[in-house]
A and B are shown apart, each in its own frame.
Chain A
Amino acid sequence: MTARPLLLVTAALALVAPGFATPGDETAAGHDAGNAAEHSEPELPPHSRAPHQVDVTVHDDAWLLVNDYDTFGELAEADPERFEFVEGLLEPKDESGEVIDTYDGYRDKTGRVELRYDPEAEDVAYFERVSAERLTRGHENYIQYCASCHGLEGDGYGRSAQHLRPPPRDFRVGKFKFTKVGVENLPSDQALVDLVKKGLDGTPMYPWALTEGQLLDVIQYIKSLSPPESGWRDVYAVVKGPVDIGEDPWTNDVQGAVARGEIVYHNVGCFNCHPGYVTPARIDEIVTGEGGIAKGSYREDLTLPKIVPNTMYQVQGYKTSILPPDFTWHSIRAGRDRQGNLSALEIARTVGSGIAGSGMPQWKGSMPDKDIWAIGYYVRHLIETYHGKPQARAALMSELRGGN
């Protein structure tokens, strides 16, 4: 389709050069491979495959988990012409064909939505037939804004992703790191929109200036790249919003939150991967104060972050390890709100939900929400006090290292 409108000018060329105008991709690839072998060049990464025009048209509709709307009931009420409530709409069966459950639901008379209405679920999701036109719109925006890093095929091998660490997401895996919905959960559309709107600090993933509508289209397209086992095509899967860590308990006591955060941070052992920000003696004091048993000695490089084996990042064929951030040095990825300000809430949510595909576990449930909030405040305090302030940081470090 790419050459179609060009016929006017290129017709002459095509006529005098029959057979050369559009050599098959295989031939070209074959020659390239042969050429490379001949000169025994090292194998080049797929970032640099030959440039080509792409067809942006998506031809098939896709059934995907979608929640554009705040609640599904809201949508159904807003458009009663389109939906009717049906009891026992879905009856999932097990392998032997026996009905294991029954769901009520709304039926879309237009046939575009197949849905489940689960009064128990906090987030209402429904399974919608996303039209090919909408996916095409999403694909267009994807090509324009995302493909240079995430690749034309969504495999994370964009031309600009060469040497980039951490590598861009491979959308064909269908997992996302900073959606803050918990390691096991599928993020809601809104959580994904939030991620793209805020961007990831310290990476080329910027806060993108697309409208909400455009972003939702892109997100549907990205979901359509995911594999079946990822859940986006599973009628019975649930999408989640950001992890719920409750109201901010520290609104009137930021000092207290930071102090408590320091205690929690060093008590639960964040310094096993991240650096410790107090002296070992103080850690002992903290642990004992919290009723634990002090170890007395800690790793020698306590002021440095440490790669631990399970942080190996191995999706999409990259074998690279990612260093946990030192909050006084590195910029953290997802600590900002939509206005671009550092936010204790966002940091606390990251702590609460963990980071899928990395060594950062989900802390929600392992400690009280109040402590998660305290860590949020403490990390924000660390960043505000030391990040980008070499003198303050040097002073802290010399204190921690005992004057070295």
Chain B
Amino acid sequence: MNRLVSLVSRARVRWLATPAALLLASTAASAQEVVDRWGPTPPASTYGPRFDSLFSLITTLIGISFLIVLVMLLVPCLRDNAKKGKKAHFDHGTSLHDKRFTAVVSVVVFIVLDAWVLVRAMGDLREAYWNVPAPDTPGIFKVEVLAQQWAWNFRTPGVDGELGTPDDVITINELTVPIGRPVVFNLTSKDVIHSLFLPDMRLKRDANPGAINVAWFEAAKSGDFDILCAELCGYAHYQMHGKLHVLPEADFPAWEKDASALALAAYDANDTEARWAWDWKE
């Protein structure tokens, strides 16, 4: 590292430091504004902030890395232009010093850029994204998702809390869930591969035909959010979206009661073909 620093100073490019510092400061100052204006909607699930904080960490790390690359790229470009009678510095880069330098930089890069992020990501996955509650966990809200060209079919248990019964609430492109309860999905598809994408919840999971995938989130905010398909599924892929309604705790029981009542009113015992529900996968 000393060598690098001395190279930079020896190269009389200290004038670069001022604009660089200014740039860095203004970037940091405007970062929040940029995210507010251009970034994703604020996280609405309990684990959503994990994405945002890891994203910022990676942005910082690679921002610094890229700045170093940029400086090392620009300095020779501005300084070392070919001049008559001036030869380049002859160096094959095979000295022990160079090898050590390369090794040190590699280790530093691996630890700072990779290992750090890796450890954070593993933590996030195990504690949040992949920590799907088992189907028999009390208090979870189960949702069966049957994707099709080009719509989302949702089935939620209704007041009896069990799937596969006449009071199940079956909706197309609309899903209503309570706040503060883990919502656990079982996803599959009738035809092609789809992908359930809840941008506000920072959740995405493929729905594959012939297999069941699991995913979960817990809403931290009530309101209406978007449901999108993130895997190309044909011509109307772009239209395959729905709405996720997250209801406050106070409103949800009443909603669920009405929904079940209406589901029972619509239930037709003779129409066996309309049934779908499955054994739950953990």
Contact = CB atoms under 8 A, between A and B. Distances in A.
Q: Is chain B in direct contact with chain A in the complex (CB below 8 A)? A: yes
Interface of A: 45, 144-145, 148-149, 159-160, 162-165, 202-204, 206-208, 301, 304-307, 318-323, 326, 329-331, 388, 390-391, 393-394, 397
Interface in B126-177: 146, 148-151, 153, 170, 172-174
Given A144-B235, A204-B150, A159 B190 contact: yes
A386 to B, nearest CB: 11
Contacts of B190: 159-160, 162-163
B26 interface: no
A315 to B, nearest CB: 14
Given A304-B265, A306-B265, A307-B265, A163 B270 contact: no
Contact of B254 (A165, A305, A322, A390): A390
Contacts of A305: 262, 265
A163 B146 contact: yes
B274 A149 contact: no
Contact of A45 (B148, B270, B273): B273
Q: How large is the interface on B (under 10, 10 to 19, 20 to 34, 35 or more residues)?
A: 20 to 34
Contacts of B224: 388
Contacts of A148: 148-150, 191, 234
B225 to A, nearest CB: 13
B245 interface: yes
Contacts, number: 96
Interface string B263-282: 00110101101111000000
Contacts of A159: 149, 190-191
A393 B262 CA distance: 14
A201 to B, nearest CB: 9
Given A145-B236, A160-B190, A321-B271, A204 B251 contact: no
B112 to A, nearest CB: 48
Given A320-B270, A388-B224, 10 more contacts: A159-B191, A163-B153, A165-B271, A206-B239, A208-B236, A304-B261, A304-B265, A326-B262, A390-B247, A393-B258
B147 to A, nearest CB: 9
B255 interface: yes
B251 A394 contact: yes
A255 B236 CA distance: 39
Nearest to A149: B149
Contact of B172 (A203, A208, A318, A390): A203
A144 B265 CA distance: 36
Contact of A163 (B265, B266, B268, B274): B274
Contacts of A306: 265
Q: With a 10 A CB-CB cut-off, give which of B149, B153, B276 has the most chain A CB atoms.
A: B149
A320 B274 CA distance: 8
B45 to A, nearest CB: 20
Nearest to B243: A388
Contacts of B255: 390, 394
A319 B149 contact: no
Given A163-B153, A202-B172, A323 B273 contact: no
A323 B172 contact: no
A318 B151 CA distance: 21
B174 to A, nearest CB: 8
Interface of B: 146, 148-151, 153, 170, 172-174, 190-191, 224, 234-236, 239, 245, 247, 251, 254-255, 258, 261-262, 265-266, 268, 270-271, 273-276
A165 B247 CA distance: 25
Nearest to B259: A329
Contacts of A329: 258, 262
Contacts of B173: 202, 204
Contact of A318 (B234, B254, B271): B271
Contacts of A331: 174
29 contacts: A145-B236, A148-B234, A159-B190, A159-B191, A160-B149, A160-B191, A162-B190, A162-B273, A163-B146, A163-B190, A163-B273, A164-B153, A165-B274, A202-B172, A203-B172, A206-B236, A207-B239, A301-B265, A305-B265, A306-B265, A318-B271, A319-B268, A320-B270, A321-B266, A323-B266, A390-B247, A391-B251, A394-B254, A394-B255
A318 B273 contact: yes
A388 B247 CA distance: 11
Contacts of A149: 149
A159 B149 CA distance: 9
A282 to B, nearest CB: 21
Nearest to B173: A202
Q: Nearest 10 pairs between A and B by C-beta?
A: A204-B151, A323-B266, A160-B148, A148-B149, A320-B271, A160-B149, A163-B276, A206-B239, A390-B251, A321-B268
Most chain-A CB neighbours within 10 Å: which of B255, B266, B275?
Answer: B266
B269 to A, nearest CB: 10
Contacts of B153: 163-164
A391 B247 CA distance: 10
Contact of B148 (A145, A204, A320, A391): A204
A145 B254 contact: no
Contacts of B268: 307, 319-321
Nearest to A206: B239
Contacts of A323: 262, 265-266
Contacts of B275: 163
Contacts of A304: 261-262, 265
Nearest to B261: A304
A206 B150 CA distance: 9
Contacts of B251: 390-391, 394
Contacts of B254: 390, 394
Given A145-B235, A159-B191, A394-B251, A307 B266 contact: yes
A397 B267 CA distance: 22
Contacts of A163: 146, 153, 190, 273-276
A207 B173 CA distance: 15
Most chain A CB atoms below 10 A, which of B170, B224, B274, B275: B274
A305 B261 CA distance: 10
B251 to A, nearest CB: 5
Contacts of B236: 145, 206, 208
B64 to A, nearest CB: 45
A393 B176 CA distance: 15
